[in-house]
C-alpha cells in the first residue's frame, strides 16, 4: 500500500476524524497510486493516521475511511458499512407507512461518495468517487444479499463525477430495468417515481418528515406549494383537509407526475390547481392579481452550491421570501427551506429577517425544520448538514 505524507500542521482535522484531506495538505505521495486506490496516510513524523481513497484529480485528494491501523479496509470492511447503514433504517421502514428512503448517505454513513436510495423494491445508486467506483461489485453484491432488490439503477450525478475524472453513467447495475413508474409509499401516501428520468435519484425523500409536520397546519387553509416537484407538500396538505392547494413547478414532467399522484391517492382534484411556471414569475402574477394564501411553501433548488456563491444566493433567497410574504393573509404561514449546505440556520434566519423588513412585515419563527434520520449528520463531518427550513408566522 502506498504511503501519503501529510504536511506538518495539518493533522488536527484528521485526528478529529474529518473524512477529507485537501490536496494542499499533502506533503508527498510515495509512489503512483491510481485514482480510487486505498492509501495509508501518515503524519510528518511517519506515524500512521488513517486509510483512505486517493484521487489525484480531485480537490479532495484523500477521503478517509478507517483510523484504526489494525483494521484492514477490505471487502468485508465495505460489506459491514453497507450492512450497518441499511440496518439503521429499519425503524424508519418498520411502520409499513413508508417504503422509500435513503439507505446510504455517503460520508455520513462512512462510505464517501456512495448514495443509495430505496424506492419500494428498486434501488437508485449514485457513485461519486473513484474509490467507491472500484468497490462497486462488492457493494452491489452486499445490497443484493441484504435486500434482494428487483433492480439497482445507477443515477450518478455528472458534475460531481467529473471532479473525480469519472465518466457519466445512467445504467442498470443489476436486475431488470426499473419500470418507468415505480409506485412508492411515504407517510401512507402513494407516489409514482420515475427513477431514470426524474430529478436527483427520482424523489426528494429528505422532505418526508417536514411534509407531514407542515400538513398539520393546513386543514381548511388555502395552500400555495412553490417548487412542488411531484407534490410532496401538496399531497400531504390535501390529505390533511386543506381547502385548496395550488402547486407551481417549472418542470413539465414533475407537474404531470403530480397530477397522476393526486389520482393515485384518490384525492379531490377540484381542490387542486397545478401551474407549470417559473416561481419568481408566478409569484409576481399572483401579486398583480391580488391573490392571497393562508400557507405558502418555498422549497427551491440549491441556490448556493458553494460558500463563494453565498452572497448571491442570499439575495435570491431574500427576494423569493419577500415576494411570498406579500402574498400571505394576515397571520399566515410561510414554510421556507434552503438545501444549500453553505447557508447555515443562523444566516437563513438573517435572510428571512431582511425579507420581512423589505416586505414591511413582522415574522415569528415558530418551528425549525431539518433533514431526517436517513440523512444523518456525522459529528466529524458538519458539511453533511444541508437541509434546513423555518416555519414563519407572518404579520
Task: Match 396538505 to its residue by C-alpha cell.
Answer: 237
- CA-nearest of 117, 86, 115 to 101 is 117
- What is each CA distance from 244 to 28, 167, 199, 292, 340, in whole angstroms? 63, 45, 26, 12, 30
Choose, by CB under 6 A, the member of 142, 164, 249, 294 that binds ligand SAH: 249
Question: Closest approach of Cβ 337 to ligand SAH, in Å?
Answer: 8
CA dist list (Å): 281 to 192, 286, 370: 28, 9, 28
What is the pattern of x (binds ligand SAH, CB under 6 A) and - over residues 183-222? ----------------x----x--x---------------
Region from 249-257, 345-353, 359-367, 383-391 binding ligand SAH, contact rule CB under 6 A: 249-257
Q: Please identify which residue in 279, 283, 323, 392 interacts with ligand SAH, judged by CB under 6 A.
A: 279
Choose the binding region for ligand SAH from 18-26, 250-258, 319-327, 357-365 (rule: CB under 6 A).
250-258
* Binding residue (CB under 6 A) for ligand SAH from 21, 254, 320, 392: 254
Instruction: For residues 292 and 326, give the distance between their C-alpha atoms in angstroms, rounded to a whole number.
Output: 8
Instruction: Return the residues of window 288-317 that contact ligand SAH according to CB under 6 A.
Output: 299, 301
CB of 87 to ligand SAH, least distance (A): 27
Residue with cell string 459491514: 80
Part in contact with ligand SAH (CB under 6 A); list of ranges 81-89, 119-127, 143-151, 244-252:
244-252
For ligand SAH, what does the binding mask look like between residues 3 and 42, x meaning CB under 6 A? ----------------------------------------
Q: Does 227 bind ligand SAH (CB under 6 A)?
A: yes
Min CB(237)–ligand SAH separation in Å: 11
Burial, 180: exposed, middle or buried (Cβ in 10 Å; 0-12, 13-18, 19+)? Answer: exposed
Q: Which residues of 91-117 are buried (b: 16+ CB within 10 A; e: fewer)?
A: ebbeeeebebbbbbbbbbbbbbbbbbb
250 lies in the binding site for ligand SAH (CB under 6 A): yes
Q: Residue 192 Cβ, how far from ligand SAH at the closest point, in Å?
A: 12
Nearer to ligand SAH, 153 or 233 (CB): 233
Rounded Cα–Cα distance for residues 1 and 9 (Å)? 24
Q: Catalytic residue at 205?
A: no
245, 239 contact by CB (below 8 A) = no
Catalytic residue among 101, 205, 226, 339: 339
- Length, in residues, of the chain: 395
Regarding 380 and contact with ligand SAH (CB under 6 A), the answer is no
- Say if residues 35 and 14 touch (Cβ distance below 8 Å): no
Provide the minimum distance between the beta carbon of 385 and ligand SAH in the complex, in angstroms, as a whole number: 18
Q: Is 278 in the site for ligand SAH (CB under 6 A)?
A: yes
Nearest partner of 25 among 73, 59, 53, judged by Cα? 59
> Minimum distance from CB of 301 to ligand SAH (Å)?
5
Per-residue x/- track, 116-155, ligand SAH (CB under 6 A) = ----------------------------------------
Q: What is the C-alpha separation between 258 and 149, in angstroms, rounded?
A: 26
| Contacting range for ligand SAH; rule: CB under 6 A; set: 126-134, 144-152, 226-234, 368-376 | 226-234
* Grid coordinates given for 31: 509512489
DSSP of 211-243, one letter per residue? HHHHHTT-TT-EEEEES-TTTHHHHHHHHTT-S
Of 54, 52, 61, the closest CA to residue 21 belongs to 61
Asked whether position 240 contacts ligand SAH by CB under 6 A, the answer is no
Active-site residues, by number, are 339
| Residues binding ligand SAH (CB under 6 A) | 199, 204, 207, 227-230, 232-233, 249-251, 254, 278-280, 299, 301
Amino acid at each position: 500500500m502506498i504511503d501519503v505524507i501529510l504536511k506538518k500542521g495539518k493533522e488536527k482535522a484528521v485526528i478529529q476524524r474529518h473524512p477529507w484531506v485537501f490536496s494542499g495538505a499533502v506533503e508527498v505521495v510515495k509512489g503512483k497510486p491510481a485514482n480510487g486506490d486505498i492509501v495509508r496516510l501518515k503524519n510528518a513524523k511517519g506515524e500512521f493516521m488513517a486509510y483512505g481513497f486517493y484521487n489525484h484529480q480531485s480537490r479532495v485528494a484523500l477521503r478517509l475511511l478507517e483510523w484504526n491501523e489494525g483494521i484492514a479496509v477490505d471487502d468485508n470492511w465495505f460489506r459491514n458499512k453497507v450492512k450497518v447503514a441499511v440496518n439503521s433504517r429499519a425503524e424508519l421502514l418498520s411502520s409499513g407507512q413508508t417504503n422509500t428512503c435513503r439507505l446510504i448517505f455517503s460520508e455520513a454513513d462512512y462510505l464517501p461518495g456512495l448514495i443509495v436510495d430505496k424506492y419500494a423494491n428498486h434501488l437508485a445508486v449514485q457513485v461519486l468517487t473513484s474509490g467507491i467506483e472500484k468497490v462497486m461489485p462488492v457493494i452491489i453484491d452486499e445490497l443484493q444479499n441484504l435486500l434482494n432488490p428487483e433492480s439497482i439503477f445507477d443515477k450518478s450525478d455528472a458534475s460531481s463525477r467529473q471532479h473525480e475524472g469519472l465518466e457519466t453513467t445512467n445504467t442498470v447495475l443489476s436486475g431488470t430495468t426499473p419500470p418507468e413508474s415505480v409506485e412508492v409509499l411515504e407517510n401512507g401516501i402513494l407516489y409514482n417515481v420515475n427513477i431514470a428520468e426524474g430529478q436527483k435519484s427520482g424523489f426528494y425523500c429528505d422532505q418526508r418528515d417536514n411534509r407531514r409536520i407542515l400538513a398539520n397546519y393546513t386543514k381548511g387553509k388555502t395552500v400555495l406549494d412553490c417548487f412542488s416537484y411531484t407534490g410532496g407538500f401538496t399531497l400531504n396538505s390535501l390529505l390533511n383537509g386543506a381547502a385548496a392547494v395550488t402547486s407551481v413547478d417549472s418542470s413539465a414532467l414533475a407537474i404531470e407526475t403530480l397530477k397522476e399522484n393526486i389520482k393515485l391517492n384518490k384525492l379531490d382534484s377540484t381542490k387542486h390547481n397545478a401551474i407549470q411556471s417559473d416561481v419568481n414569475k408566478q409569484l409576481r402574477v399572483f401579486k398583480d392579481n391580488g391573490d392571497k394564501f393562508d400557507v405558502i411553501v418555498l422549497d427551491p433548488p440549491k441556490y448556493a452550491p458553494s460558500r463563494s456563491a453565498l452572497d448571491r444566493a442570499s439575495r435570491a433567497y431574500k427576494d423569493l421570501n419577500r415576494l411570498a410574504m406579500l402574498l400571505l393573509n394576515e397571520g399566515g404561514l410561510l414554510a421556507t427551506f434552503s438545501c444549500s449546505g453553505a447557508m447555515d440556520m443562523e444566516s437563513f434566519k438573517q435572510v428571512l429577517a431582511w425579507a420581512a423588513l423589505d416586505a414591511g412585515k413582522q415574522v415569528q419563527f415558530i418551528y425549525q425544520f431539518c433533514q431526517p434520520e436517513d440523512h444523518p449528520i456525522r459529528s466529524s463531518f458538519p458539511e453533511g448538514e444541508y437541509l434546513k427550513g423555518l416555519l414563519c408566522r407572518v404579520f
